[in-house]
């Protein structure tokens, strides 16, 4: 990157997606927001969407809303999300529950689908809830967790995985983008390896959906989960989504343990025994969180409008810019993320022994990154709502804090 390209104003002026920033609450400032990978900003349309929902759809249609739209909403929204951002055909994606609950369902389903196999592979740097779920399911099902050590500034490589796969592997659990380092895993290659060993793969898309293109069908992933409050701007605690490959639905292999009325073959017959629905509906358990889906739905359409490839291009430009500024202005800081954008997601982590206090100082100054143990400051650069100017202000603020 040349010196001239470090001019934030010029980069913002040349950004083909710049106009989309106006769609977000607060994007004009004063907060410099660098944590869109933890919680995305709301779209300005979200408040109006919620008002219309309360007054017309919920308040006007009342219980009829279930027949008219809501009953299918987890699947229709799932299909649209799949088309726009997941590289997945219809009938494989449903919105609902938290990421953790869906991970639990998926891990249980996967180990049940590979009977006799005794190991679940997961890396020690995967997100805590992924590891906790794996640990819990392994204990309750009498399996062993095969903990994988990976480069903490990177993530699970094919070499890492090949070294531990075997005839006893039931399941591999991996994050598409690592929550700390931002490492972008080669899911296609990892999936081939897992399948060659006869195992399933579960991909956590929390840190990639909406920022990095995903191709679940082409990669032949078995099951995946992701959240919607990061790059899909669904709001705090917005419901997660789950994907189950059509082949595991078609042959009835996929069975999850939380048997509820909304995942039953006929929810309103209310028969004596549970029989799972055919298709992705069987992933559901309880009443779908319709109110929680409102913010998300508009953001999926905005990603569709911008195009996920254009979103990714902006994302790469933002992280490249951040790294160029760090190289120039923060020589005392270690880049704890991949330098090669081909293996980097939408955020960049900067390591320094004082990053915990630096983060606290920045927050007081309305510059908002986040901190991850032990010494990482994350810059989460949500492509559609973050400007190059914010990145420049953020890096400058880190310099000031480190010097202060």
Out of 71, 183, 229, 388, which one is annotated catalytic?
A: 229
Please choose, out of 11-19, 157-165, 197-205, 283-291, the segment that lies near a copy of itself by the rule CB under 8 A.
283-291
Residues 223-242 that bind a copy of itself (CB under 8 A): 227, 229, 234-240
What span, in angstroms and rounded, lies between the C-alpha atoms of 35 and 229? 11
3-class state of residue 360 by DSSP: helix
What CA–CA distance (Å, rounded) separates 116 from 106? 17
Q: Which residues pair with 380 in a beta bridge?
A: 35, 347
- Specify the residue, 127 or 219, whose C-beta has the smaller distance to a copy of itself: 127
Please identify which of the residues 21, 108, 230, 314 carries the catalytic annotation. Answer: 230
**Helical (H) or strand (E) element with 348:** strand 347-351
Q: Which is nearer to a copy of itself, 124 or 339 (CB)?
A: 124
Is 230 among the catalytic positions? yes
Is 179 a catalytic site residue? Answer: no
Q: Is 403 annotated as catalytic?
A: no
Q: Active-site residue among 127, 179, 183, 231?
A: 127
Give the pair of three-digit tokens for residue 135: 């640990």
**Interacting residue with a copy of itself among 164, 188, 189, 258 (CB under 8 A):** 258
Determine the interface stretch with a copy of itself among 127-135, 303-311, 313-321, 338-346 (rule: CB under 8 A): 127-135
- How is residue 377 written in tokens? 């400051």
Q: Give backbone dihedrals phi and psi of 400, rounded to 5 degrees, phi first.
A: -60, -45
113 scored as a contact of a copy of itself (CB under 8 A): no
Does residue 115 bind a copy of itself (CB under 8 A)?
no
Q: What minimum distance in Å lies between the beta carbon of 274 and a copy of itself?
A: 4
Of residues 285-324, which lie at the interface with a copy of itself (CB under 8 A)?
A: 285-292, 294-295
Q: Does 33 interact with a copy of itself (rule: CB under 8 A)?
A: yes
One residue of 15, 82, 92, 97 binding a copy of itself per CB under 8 A = 97
Q: Which of residues 60-79 bind a copy of itself (CB under 8 A)?
A: 60, 62-66, 70
- Alpha-carbon distance 228 to 286, whole Å? 19
| Sign of the Cα pseudo-torsion (325, 328, 329, 331, in order) | positive
377 contacts 371 by C-beta, under 8 angstroms:
yes
Q: CB under 8 Å to 349, separation ≥6 — which residues? A: 153, 180, 181, 182, 335, 336, 337, 372, 376, 377, 378, 379
Among 42, 152, 346, 383, binds a copy of itself (CB under 8 A): 42
Which CB, 171 or 290, lies closer to a copy of itself?
A: 290
Query: Catalytic residue at 33?
Result: no
Q: Active site includes 229? A: yes
What tokens were used for 124?
A: 């020690």
* Of 94-102, 162-170, 315-323, 348-356: span binding a copy of itself (CB under 8 A): 94-102
388-403 helix and 355-364 helix, angle to the nearest 10 degrees: 120
What is the rounded distance in angstroms from the CA atom of residue 393 to the CA atom of residue 32? 7
Task: Kindly identify the residues of this chain, within the stretch 348-377, that bind a copy of itself according to CB under 8 A.
Answer: 363, 368, 370, 372-373
Q: Which residues are catalytic?
A: 127, 204, 229-230, 378
């Amino acid at each position: 990157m040349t010196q001239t390209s470090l001019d934030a104003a010029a980069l913002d002026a040349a950004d083909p997606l710049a106009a989309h920033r106006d769609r977000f609450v607060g994007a004009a400032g004063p907060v410099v927001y660098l944590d869109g990978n933890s919680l995305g900003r709301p779209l300005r349309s979200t408040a109006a969407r919620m008002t219309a929902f309360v007054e017309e759809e919920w308040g006007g249609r009342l219980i009829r809303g279930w027949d008219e739209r809501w009953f299918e909403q987890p699947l229709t929204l799932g299909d649209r999300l799949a088309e726009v951002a997941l590289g997945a055909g219809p009938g494989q994606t449903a919105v609902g529950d938290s990421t953790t609950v869906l991970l639990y369902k998926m891990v249980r389903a996967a180990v049940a689908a590979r009977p006799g196999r005794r190991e679940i592979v997961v890396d020690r740097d995967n997100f805590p809830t992924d590891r906790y779920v794996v640990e819990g399911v392994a204990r309750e099902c009498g399996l062993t967790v095969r903990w994988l050590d990976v480069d903490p500034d990177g993530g699970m490589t094919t070499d890492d995985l090949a070294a531990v796969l075997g005839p006893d592997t039931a399941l591999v659990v991996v994050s598409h983008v690592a929550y700390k380092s931002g490492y972008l895993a080669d899911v296609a290659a990892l999936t081939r390896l897992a399948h060659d060993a006869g195992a399933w793969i579960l991909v956590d898309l929390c840190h990639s959906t909406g920022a990095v293109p995903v191709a679940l069908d082409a990669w032949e992933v078995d099951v995946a989960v992701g959240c919607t409050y990061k790059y899909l701007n669904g709001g705090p605690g917005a419901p997660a989504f789950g994907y189950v490959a059509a082949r595991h639905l078609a042959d009835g292999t996929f069975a999850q343990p939380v048997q509820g009325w909304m995942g039953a073959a006929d929810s309103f017959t209310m028969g004596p025994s549970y029989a799972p629905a055919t298709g992705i509906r069987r992933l559901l358990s309880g009443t779908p969180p319709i109110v929680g889906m409102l913010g998300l739905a508009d953001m999926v359409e905005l990603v569709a409008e911008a195009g996920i490839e254009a979103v990714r291009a902006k994302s790469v430009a933002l992280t490249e810019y951040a790294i160029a500024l760090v190289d120039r202005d923060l020589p005392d800081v270690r880049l704890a993320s991949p330098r090669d954008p081909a293996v980097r997601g939408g955020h960049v982590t900067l390591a320094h022994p004082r990053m915990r206090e630096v983060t606290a100082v920045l927050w007081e100054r309305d510059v908002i990154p986040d901190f991850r143990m032990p010494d990482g400051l994350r810059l989460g650069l949500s492509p559609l709502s973050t400007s190059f100017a914010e990145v420049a202000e953020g890096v400058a603020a880190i310099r000031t804090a480190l010097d202060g």
